Amino acid sequence: MSISGAPESTSVTTPDDFPAQYDPAATEAAIYARWQEAGAFTADASRSSRIGGDRDPYGILMPPPNVTAILHVGHGLNSTVQDVLIRWARMKGLEALWLPGMDHAGIATQNVVEKQLATEGLTRNDLGREKFIERTAAFVAETGGVILQQLKAIGASADWSRTAYTFSPDLSVSVREAFVRLYERGLIYRGHRVIHWCPRCLTSLSDEEAEGQETTGALYHISYPLADDPSQSITVATTRPETMLGDVAVAVNAADERYQAMIGKDVLLPILDLRIPIIADDYADPEFGTGVVKITPAHDANDFEVGRRHDLPMPVVIDAYGIMNEDADAAGRVPQALRGVDRFLARERVVEMLEAAGRLVKKEAHHHSVRHCYRCDTVVEPRLSDQWFVRMAPLAEPALEAVRAGRVRLLPEKWVGVYEHWMTNIRDWNISRQIWWGHRVPVWYCKECDPPQNVIASREDLTACPYCGCDVVQDEDVLDTWFSSSLWPMSTLGWPNEHSTDLRAFYPSDVLVTAPEILFFWVARMIMMGYAFMGDAPFHSVYLHGTARDTQGRKMSKSLGNGIDPMDVVHLYGADALRYTLIAGMGMGADVLLDPNDLDKSFATGRNFATKLWNIGRFLLMNVGSDAVRPFDDIADSELNRADRWILDRLDAAIRECDRAIGPVHPDGATWRDEERASGLRLNEFAETARRFVWNELADWYVEANKARLLTVGDDQQVARAVLVHVFDQALRLLHPIVPFVSEALWQRLPGHVDGTFIATSSWPVVREASSTDARAAQFDVIKEIVEAMRRIRAEYAIAPGKSIEAFVVATPALRQMLEEESALLGRMARTTLTPIDSAPEGGGANVVVFLGNTELIVPLAGLIDVAKECEKLKTELANLEKQLTSLEARLENEGFIARAPAAVVEGERAKRDEWKTRRELLRTRFEGLCGKA
């Protein structure tokens, strides 16, 4: 018995309203407007199960971009991840809230406005504080929020009705409440200590805002002569010789025998010839450098602590502008030649003075980390000043325990160790900034009252002292922007009003999506504030995604000129192309590599997929036709053929894999079990599963297998149409979180679509209950394997597509029956004459044998190809490969090569060897099947 078939032609009628090409520009804005008009993204707090509703809540808080920010690819990546999660949760039937907003961005916004003033020949001081704040507020009102409109263009489905702003009246109430509560608990205090100071922004910075940058500078070795015996000296090394004018001591370790006899003596400070003491302190490390350190308490944080321990004076010799000047405690310490000189020029002059005095022992190159302002990149200056601080250790304790106990998980898990290290070594947070734009410190001073009543922290503005009635003056400083941002998960939901419906319905939220660079700036502080004020962490998962980098591995930035404007991508290829490219390219915590010089190449993956999906949908729906389609739920199990059962089985598998990849819904108050901590949020796997299903399994196999059924009028045609529409509907739902626009455009065209409904608010696919279809679905896998094998053989041996191939299958009675029933399908898809046989024939012959599970596919090639010529070709190719492999293995056995060659080269050669060995085995198998044993 033979089973054969020929390819069949199809005719398709294209309706006028189904364009041949997908046009994002004509589609996306209109769809987004319809979503907004329908309130598709608006969360209903009353439906949250936490306050008696019928849905479990799911919340994501948008990391608030700066109010003056313009969308860059980092924002695009971050927002796309959040949007994928919130769309998925919304479709899962959760009451999903993605709360958007903006940050007033104190230093950043003030810098922008000050630059504008500079073009007018003005400074903020020319305007005065109130006028400057008015000017900045007007600038924000006019230009702020552009980024939120841009986020809409890339499909962000945030609840825009709840858009928050860190400087709004409501959130300002939250900021004051938090400050006053912490002050009343003794966790905020005014401190006199060395902080990081930006001479450009003229403000203090926190440890995290003063970012270390590796640089190669110089290390200067300077000799300090003993005051009473100049023939002896002690040598110190410093990278900042200009600060020596503020030296008040040199320190050695009491256990360092080299200097024990000198402890208590004085040295002369070079240039100034001031007597300063040699002190003993454990800060001096005998193993580092000369074992001697200069102590400059006003210009180094560690020296400040030494100065406090030894009650040393603290003269300031560098002013707020980074200029060499004296304060009252430093009278006479800055020579006339250095007064008014910039700190870096002063460094050169101090070195020249030391050389002239014979006190510069040596100068050597030195690689070290130098802190820069995170906003303007100016080298920061350690500076002694009065600042407001938050006492962090008590706040850090529950936040650290939350991660260790599994109440909060950090993904990727490599960040857990970094988080723990930072939290266990946390320093008090400097929260005051010497700028004007921001939340002013809510503290007033009374000159008439004695401490502590002379300092009043108040929730309301004060005009008089509450104790004596006298005039009061408010503190001039503003709060660090990150202070208000740390309250974001609560303040945006109505805190401190604990009766707020939103707060009760949506706190805590679920997933925070952000970049690892602000793990400490923001994430850790939000967790701390959550426990401090709500008694609970603000979220259960923190997803720290990778960074967008160029093809050289550099982070995309404006300064490097290697950035990509997401709006350019949207205009050229559509938002879905941007979104799919970013999601498909980002593994857990992995960076996304893009070429700013070749957008076509960078976003080809997403562009091609959106186009392919449109084409699949168009072809599929054209074949289904415009007539009413029988409801899938009305199809009896007995009406389904093998291909139907197979595609439904594959759909179930895709749903399971997508759910597993994107992650479990975490119950309120639960602790992540060890086996769950790393689960979910693998969005690239989610994207690939959904893509593979619709592209490979649905389009390449199911649609191909059902072309004849779709064109043959009858009951079976109706079954095929029903299954096809159902499966494509479900596939579009799986894809919707990633490519929302094209999926919505196609979903709206499905037969039976009800006007006014959206895929954006439809239900997420669910796996069918177990049925008896699995066995017959597996039979379609056998058909698929036979077709794939036949196509592979054609390709390997260059057999013309139109040439018929005879093949044999070793078949059991059940398999024989299945092959007979599917003869037309096999003939059309494999272009072969297939004969079932009871056992493989004796003798090899010019046959290709393919093992398919428990059976064999045997394809005689005699008459199809020149067997002798093909055997000679394979023999030559094998011989050449053997020769190359022998040479490569000899090189890898050469110890000299292994020792001298770079590790990457060695690994590359080893990979090549493995690849060639695999190729050799493949060639041998082909040779033996076609030509017999060599």
pLDDT of residue 404: 95
Our measurement of the distance from residue 467's CA atom to the centroid of its chain's CA atoms, rounded to an integer in Å, reads 51
- HEC secondary structure over 659-717: HHHHCCCCCCCCCCCCCCCCCCCCHHHHHHHHHHHHHHHHHHHHHHHCHHHHHCCCHHH
pLDDT greater at residue 926 or residue 181: 181
Q: Is the pLDDT of residue 206 over 60?
A: yes
pTM above 0.95, yes or no: no
Q: Is the pLDDT of residue 15 over 60?
A: no
Distances (CA, A) of 237 to 5, 224, 295, 382: 88, 11, 11, 18
Q: What is the pLDDT of residues 405-416, one digit of tens each?
A: 999 999 999 999
E strand residue ranges, 203-297: 203-205, 210-226, 229-238, 249-252, 266-269, 274-280, 293-295
pLDDT of residue 2: 36
Mean pLDDT across 215-238: 93
Q: Is the pLDDT of residue 270 over 80?
A: yes
pLDDT of residue 5: 35
Nearest CA to 280 among 308, 300, 250, 237? 250
pLDDT of residue 657: 95
pLDDT tier for residue 9 given thresholds of 50, 70 and 90: very low
DSSP secondary structure of 823-884:
HHHHHHHH-EEEEEESSPPSS--SEEEEEETTEEEEEE-BTTB-HHHHHHHHHHHHHHHHHH
Mean pLDDT across 876-898: 87
Q: Is the pLDDT of residue 379 over 50?
A: yes
Inter-residue contact 72 to 565 (CB < 8 Å): yes
pLDDT tier for residue 805 given thresholds of 50, 70 and 90: confident
pLDDT of residue 281: 95
Mean pLDDT across 619-639: 86
pLDDT of residue 934: 59
Distance between CA atoms of residues 850 and 835, nearest Å? 15
For 308-340, letters b (16+ CB in 10 Å) and e give: eebebebbbbbbbebbbbbbeebeebbbeebee
Inter-residue contact 619 to 752 (CB < 8 Å): no
Burial of 788 per CB tally in 10 Å (0-12, 13-18, 19+)? middle
Provide the percentage of residues in the chain whose pLDDT is more than 90.
65
pLDDT of residue 845: 61
pLDDT of residue 676: 76
Mean pLDDT across 643-660: 95
**Rounded to 5°, angle at Cα 806 from 801 and 812:** 125
Mean pLDDT across 269-274: 94
Nearest CA to 82 among 105, 65, 59? 59
Task: Look at strands 832-837 and 805-810 and give their pairing.
Answer: parallel
Out of 523-537, 593-607, 782-796, least confident range: 782-796
Q: Tell me the HSE value of 827 on the side-chain side, using a 13 A CA sphere.
A: 15
Torsion of the alpha carbons at 617, 622, 623 and 629, rounded to the nearest 10:
90
pLDDT tier for residue 335 given thresholds of 50, 70 and 90: very high
Q: Is the pLDDT of residue 603 over 80?
A: yes
pLDDT of residue 312: 95
Identify the three-state secondary structure at position 36.
helix
pLDDT tier for residue 869 given thresholds of 50, 70 and 90: confident
Distances (CA, A) of 15 to 216, 484, 750, 817: 68, 55, 13, 41
**Rounded to 5°, angle at Cα 243 from 239 and 245:** 135
Q: What is the pLDDT of residues 827-839, one digit of tens each?
A: 888 888 888 888 7
Mean pLDDT across 19-28: 93
Q: What is the pLDDT of residues 505-524, one digit of tens each?
A: 999 999 999 999 899 989 99
Q: How many helices (H) and strands (E) does the chain have?
A: 31, 29
Averaged pLDDT of the chain:
90
Cβ neighbors of 293 (< 8 A, separation 6 or more) are 236, 250, 251, 283, 284, 303
Inter-residue contact 109 to 136 (CB < 8 Å): yes
pLDDT of residue 843: 55
Task: Look at strands 478-479 and 432-433 and give their pairing.
Answer: antiparallel
Structure letter (DSSP) for residue 327:
-
Provide the percentage of residues in the chain whose pLDDT is more than 70.
96
Q: Is the pLDDT of residue 436 over 80?
A: yes
Inter-residue contact 480 to 432 (CB < 8 Å): yes
pLDDT of residue 846: 67
- HEC secondary structure over 270-321: CCCCEEEEEEECCCCCCCCCCCCEEECCCCCHHHHHHHHHHCCCCCCCECCC
pLDDT tier for residue 326 given thresholds of 50, 70 and 90: confident
Q: Is the pLDDT of residue 553 over 80?
A: yes
Q: One-letter amino acid identity for 190?
A: R
pLDDT of residue 857: 79
pLDDT of residue 8: 36
pLDDT of residue 13: 38
Distance between CA atoms of residues 839 and 360, nearest Å? 94
Burial of 169 per CB tally in 10 Å (0-12, 13-18, 19+)? exposed
Nearest CA to 740 among 130, 59, 251, 83? 83
pLDDT of residue 734: 98
pLDDT tier for residue 435 given thresholds of 50, 70 and 90: very high
Q: One-letter amino acid identity for 80?
A: T
Identify the three-state secondary structure at position 39.
coil
Task: Look at strands 293-295 and 381-390 and give their pairing.
Answer: unpaired
Out of 184-193, 307-316, 541-550, 908-917, least confident range: 908-917
